[in-house]
């Protein structure tokens, strides 16, 4: 059994490799995991290219939604993107927060930070900053952000509850988050849960949808809303690498669902004393 630290290091190494791959390679796999399929398959079927602020150099094809589309970002907001990669969501968020706002991207992969900073420099963006750090312990002052976004990242974190607590800490009272992520409805076969490649590819690290939403509530958030939900279909020619024919049939018959959800929730305007909210 891998420890949380071993899983995080595995993800760090994998995403260091992904930073050097092109979008086409990443888009034909499980979040860039490399488990290529002969079928047309992209875990992110949403199209960023029509969004204001989109820059193709920053799009590695790693997301599973469009969180900025639902994030209610306003001019002047301070926005934090968790697992910012090459900067895709940060640059879209910047188009919404404007010159008077600020966008901070956090990623624990040095290669991604370097790529994002190079993209920001190339586009002469002075109010977009990328910080190397772990989203379980963000390098951000408490109560400093209006909005947090994230795209297909928390499913890669073993201790997800810690991230939601950190999100609560760094948001201002009344601030909110909008994140797209991968969740399950039903249990994955054990053989898939043990596959490191699929963990780094956003699938084996996913938890039950019910449990995921409960973690949001337990962290103290309110106004919880699932804004968008879609099923993710992993083709048989990928699953055949990990499951026998009988296991694959059983998996399909079980109706186990792998879903991308986009979740919105708000930090209360007024909190109980000592909670760290006010």
Residue position matching structure tokens 């963000």: 138
Residue 277 pLDDT > 80: no
Structure tokens at 64: 């599973």
Look up the pTM and report it. 0.84
Q: What percent of the chain has pLDDT over 90?
A: 51
Residue position matching structure tokens 């951000």: 140
Inter-residue contact 102 to 96 (CB < 8 Å): no
Q: Which of 90, 85, 135, 153 is nearest to 113 (CA)?
A: 85
Domain ranges of the chain: 4-264
List pLDDT tens digits, range 88-138.
Answer: 999 999 999 999 999 999 999 999 999 999 999 999 999 999 999 999 999
Residue position matching structure tokens 């049939």: 249
> In the predicted model, what is the mean pLDDT of residues 142-148?
98
> In the predicted model, what is the mean pLDDT of residues 35-64?
69
Residue position matching structure tokens 């900073």: 117
Would you say domain 4-264 falls under CATH 3.40.50.150?
A: yes
Residues paired with 208 in a beta bridge: 184
Specify the pairing of strand 128-132 against strand 171-185.
unpaired
Go through 12-48 and write b for each residue having 16 or more CB atoms within 10 A of its CB, e for each that does not: bebbeebbebebeebbbbbbbbbbebeeebbbbebeb
Inter-residue contact 175 to 78 (CB < 8 Å): no
Work out the pLDDT band at 208, boundaries 50, 70, 90. very high
SS3 266: strand
């Amino acid at each position: 059994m891998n420890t949380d630290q071993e899983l995080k290091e595995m993800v760090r190494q994998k995403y260091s490799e992904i930073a050097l791959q092109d979008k086409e390679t990443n888009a034909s796999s499980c979040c860039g995991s490399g488990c290529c399929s002969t079928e047309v398959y992209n875990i992110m079927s949403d199209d960023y290219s029509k969004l204001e602020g989109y820059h193709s150099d920053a799009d590695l094809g790693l997301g599973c939604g469009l969180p900025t589309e639902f994030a209610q970002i306003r001019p002047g907001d301070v926005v934090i993107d968790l697992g910012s990669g090459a900067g895709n969501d940060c640059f879209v968020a910047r188009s919404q927060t404007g010159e008077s706002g600020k966008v901070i991207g956090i990623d624990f992969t040095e290669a991604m930070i370097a790529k994002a900073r190079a993209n920001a420099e190339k586009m002469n963006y002075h109010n977009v900053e990328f910080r190397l750090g772990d989203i379980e312990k963000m390098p951000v002052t408490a109560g400093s952000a209006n909005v947090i976004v994230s795209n297909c990242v928390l499913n890669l974190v073993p201790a997800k509850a810690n991230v939601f607590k950190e999100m609560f800490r760094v948001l201002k009272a009344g601030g909110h988050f909008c994140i797209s992520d991968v969740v399950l409805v039903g249990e994955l076969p054990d053989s898939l849960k043990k596959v490191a490649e699929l963990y780094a590819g956003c699938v084996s690290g996913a938890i039950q949808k019910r449990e995921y939403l409960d973690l949001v509530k337990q962290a103290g958030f309110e106004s919880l809303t699932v804004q968008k939900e879609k099923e993710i279909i992993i083709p048989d020619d990928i699953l055949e690498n990990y499951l026998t024919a009988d296991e694959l049939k059983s998996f399909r018959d079980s109706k186990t669902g792998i879903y991308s959800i986009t979740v919105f929730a708000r930090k209360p305007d007024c909190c109980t004393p000592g909670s760290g909210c006010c």
